[in-house]
Amino acid sequence: MGRARVARLLLVLAYASAVAGCGGSGGAGPPAATAAAPHRFTNPVLAGNFADPYVLRVGDSWYAYATGDLVVNLQVARSADLVRWERLDDALPELPEWSVLQKGLTWAPEVARTPAGFVLYYTLRHGASGRQCISVAVAERPQGPFRDTRARPLVCQERLGGSIDPHRFVDRDGAAYLLWKNDGNCCGLATELWAQRLDGDGLELTGKPSSLGVRNDAAWEGDLIEAPTLWRDGGTYYLFYSANDYGSPSYAVGYATASRVLGPYRDGTGNPILRSRGSAAGPGGQAVVTDGRGGLWLAYHAWDSAAVGDEAGGQRSMWLDRLSFQGGRPRVAGPTDGPQKAP
């Protein structure tokens, strides 16, 4: 994400915080567990500013994490049915000393449960280099508070523009990998997706990083690809990613496939598989979610106001639509802005 886009996003977040009062534990009504599960729902499932969502199931609850704003560093919400959400307090109240200690500069979080506890991977700005980098924090509870005690970033490819958008994937043999994107679009460089093995606790990388063979080389991708999400169906690895300008209706989700976890990956057919439609502008920042019956869904953000020219408007809210694999291709039944059957 370039500096001009960061400045624009901070203005959007400032407006969103003033209007919606993001943060705090009462922002979305009573906990979902107090009422029977709904039979149908209408997107967005979490209105207001909630960009780059990731959803983790813990017991009978789901926790959704999102990019911070000018009030909190890490947004988190809880649900018992994936449809009704209760906003909780800032899950990352303090940032490490090596970072730029400023609200609104933490992005694209993801949380996993490992032997070390609940482990948060997230993006923040490195004070010394000015690049965006990836770090890791740990908490005893899924809602935090998370603590980042690292003396330096976990991943920061400074010569490639920095590193953003971490994603953890565990293969069938139990090996865990961290995926990310080099932030080359900040400085006129190509953007690629990368992966590297994680240790058992998920707190350190081992071996060397591998390029997954995917870069922004298709017209619909514009100047960048980002937000890798890896999912295996049968013997095929599906690498989902977002591409193009996040602040425009051209932002969309595509995929690539490989027969091995580290690739090489090749662009899938029919890209993009999720694009602007109806009242959803610029969908992206996706995460695969499994419901209580094993059904697959794609959680993602989309701007909630109609696009004007090449600019999307409003705030990036969290949407949820069904995901399936048919004939070797992933299909997203969305964006759907009318009533649909609930998980």
pLDDT tens for each residue of 258-313: 999 999 999 999 999 999 999 999 999 999 999 999 999 999 999 987 655 677 77
- How many helices (H) and strands (E) the chain has is answered by 1, 21
Distances from the Cα of 121 to the Cα of 126, 163, 236, angstroms: 15, 12, 25
Q: Decide the pairing of beta strands 236-243 and 252-258.
A: antiparallel
- pLDDT (0 to 100) of residue 308: 59
CB burial readout 164-202, b (16+ within 10 A) else e: bbbbbbbeeeeebbbbbbbbbbbeeeebbbbbbbbeeeb
Before 343, cis peptide (omega within 30)? no
CA 183 – CA 234 distance, rounded (Å)? 31
CA 275 – CA 296 distance, rounded (Å)? 19
Diameter of the chain by CA atoms?
52
Domains of the chain and CATH, by start:
3-341 (2.115.10.20)
pLDDT tens sequence across 231-262:
999 999 999 999 999 999 999 999 999 999 99
3-state class of 334 per DSSP?
Answer: coil
Are residues 32 and 38 in contact, defined by beta-carbon separation less than 8 angstroms?
A: no
Are residues 144 and 92 in contact, defined by beta-carbon separation less than 8 angstroms?
A: yes
**pLDDT score of 63 more than 90:** yes
Question: Quick one: DSSP state of residue 339?
Answer: -
CA 299 – CA 227 distance, rounded (Å)? 13
**pLDDT score of 74 more than 70:** yes
pLDDT band at 206 (very low <50, low <70, confident <90, very high): very high
Q: To the nearest whole number, what is the mean pLDDT of the chain?
A: 90
Residue type at 180? Answer: W
Ramachandran angles phi, psi of 45, nearest 5°: -80, -25
